[in-house]
Amino acid sequence: MAFIKEESEDFRIEEVFSLKQEETEEQTDFMEQIEESEELSEGEEKNHHVQTGEKSFTRAKYSCPQTGKTLPNKKSLKLHMRVHGGEKMHTCDQCGKSFTWKEHLKDHIKIHTGEKPHTCDKCGKSFTLKENLNRHKKMHTGEKPHTCDQCGKSFAYNQNLKIHMRIHTGEKPHTCDHCGKSFTRKYSLNEHTKIHTGEKPHTCDQCGKSFVCNGKLKIHMRIHTGEKPHTCDQCGKSFSLKDNLNRHIKIHTGEKPHTCDQCGNSFTCNRSLKIHMRIHSGEKPHTCDQCGKSFTRKDRLNEHTKIHSGEKPHTCDQCGKSFTRKEHLNEHTKIHTGEKPHTCDQCGKSFTRKDHLNEHITIHLGEKPHTCDQCGKSFTRKENLKIHMKTHTGEKLYS
C-alpha cells in the first residue's frame, strides 16, 4: 500500500527564483547595468578633462576599500558602497518595500502593475524581468551548464547550483521565527510560514480544496485530470507523485531500509514504519464520528465508514458479490480461482486468506485466544465464539 505524503518537505519542484530572491542575491552582477547607466557623470568628467587640457589616462581610479573593485567614477563608487552599507533609498509607495537600486524598484513595481514585457517566443510565457526570460529559455534548450562537483547533478542556473550545494554542506540559512525550523531555500521558509498563519491562498477550482503553495495545488490537480507522469520502467505502472514512484521501485529491488527497532519488521518507506509503530504504541488517531471506533490508519477509517453508508464499491465480476474493501474482493476472487497461497508449514493445509492460516496455526499451538465473558469457555476462532454466544442469548444457531 502506497502512502502519499500530504505535506512533505521532500516534495521537490524545479526551482524557479522569484524577483524577491533576485533583488537580494544578485545585486553585485546588477552593478554592471548601474555603471553603464552613469553616462552623464562620466560625460561630466570627460568635459572636465577637455576644459583643463588633461589627458584621459590621468583620470583618477575609484576603488572599493572593502572588495577592491574599481569603479569608473566617484558616483559609481558611491552607488556601489550601498551594497556594503545596506542602504536602501528607493521605496515602493504601494507596499513600502525598499531597494538599493532605482532599477530594482522599477522592476518591483511591475509586480503591482502586472506588467510582464518579456515574452518567450517558443511557448508564449511572459516575465517581468529579462533575466527570468533568459533563464526560462534554458528549459526549452535543455541547457544545464552548472554542474555540482560532488554528485554530478547539473542545473540550468548558477543560483540553483548554489542552493543545491547546501544539501552537501548542510547549510540551512533561512530560519522560521515561529518554531525555529530551518530551510535551505527562502522560498521554502515562506511556504512553511503559511502553516503558522493558516494561509492557503491556492484553491482548486474544481473541488474547492486549498493549499499552502502552488506546487501542491498542481499535484492535487492530477487527481482531477488523471495525470500520472511518473512511470516505472520495470512494470509500466504510473504515479501522480515522484515520491510514490520511488517507493514503488523498492518493491522491485526488495529494498526495505526502514526497520522497526521493537519487532524487526522492515518497510520500504519511513511513513509506513511510522504507521506500523502505532501497533506498538497503541495509537489510533483516526476516529469514526458515527460509532467512535478508532484506527491506526486513515485509509482504514475510510473503508470502515462505508459500513455505515452501506457503500460496497468493489464488485466481483464472476458472481456479482460486492465488498467495502478491495482487499476483501481480492481474497474473495480466490474462491473462484481455487487459489490457496497460504500454506501451514506443520500440516500442509492451504488457505485462501492469511488470517485463516493464522487461526489454523492456533490449533497446532493449542492456543484459544477468544474467550466467552459469560462462562469462560475459549475458542481458536472468533467466529466460533460468536456462534457460542448465541447459547447464552437464546438466539437460534441456525435459522
pLDDT band at 31 (very low <50, low <70, confident <90, very high): very low
Q: Quick check: 185 and 174 in contact, CB under 8 A?
A: yes
How does pLDDT run across 166-183, given as a tens digit for each residue? 999 999 999 999 999 999
With a CB cutoff of 8 Å and minimum separation 6, the contacts of 16 are none
Give the domain 342-393 fold: Double Stranded RNA Binding Domain (3.30.160)
How does pLDDT run across 287-309, given as a tens digit for each residue? 999 999 999 998 889 888 888 99
pLDDT at residue 53 in the model: 43
pLDDT at residue 47 in the model: 38
**Average pLDDT estimate for 65-91:** 78
pLDDT at residue 397 in the model: 59
Residue 189 has pLDDT above 70, yes or no: yes
Residue 41 has pLDDT above 70, yes or no: no
pLDDT at residue 51 in the model: 40
More confident site: 89 or 221: 221
**Average pLDDT estimate for 143-170:** 90
pLDDT at residue 371 in the model: 92
pLDDT at residue 12 in the model: 32
How does pLDDT run across 320-329, given as a tens digit for each residue? 999 888 888 8
pLDDT band at 56 (very low <50, low <70, confident <90, very high): very low
pLDDT band at 35 (very low <50, low <70, confident <90, very high): very low
Residue 248 has pLDDT above 50, yes or no: yes
**Average pLDDT estimate for 141-154:** 90
pLDDT at residue 250 in the model: 87
Residue 238 has pLDDT above 60, yes or no: yes
pLDDT at residue 207 in the model: 92
pLDDT band at 396 (very low <50, low <70, confident <90, very high): low
**Average pLDDT estimate for 148-173:** 91
Mean pLDDT lowest among 31-40, 104-113, 202-211: 31-40
Of these ranges, 80-84, 105-109, 135-139, 260-264, the one predicted with the greatest mean pLDDT is 260-264
**Average pLDDT estimate for 120-137:** 87
**Average pLDDT estimate for 215-234:** 91
Mean pLDDT, the chain, rounded, equals 80
Q: Quick check: 197 and 179 in contact, CB under 8 A?
A: no
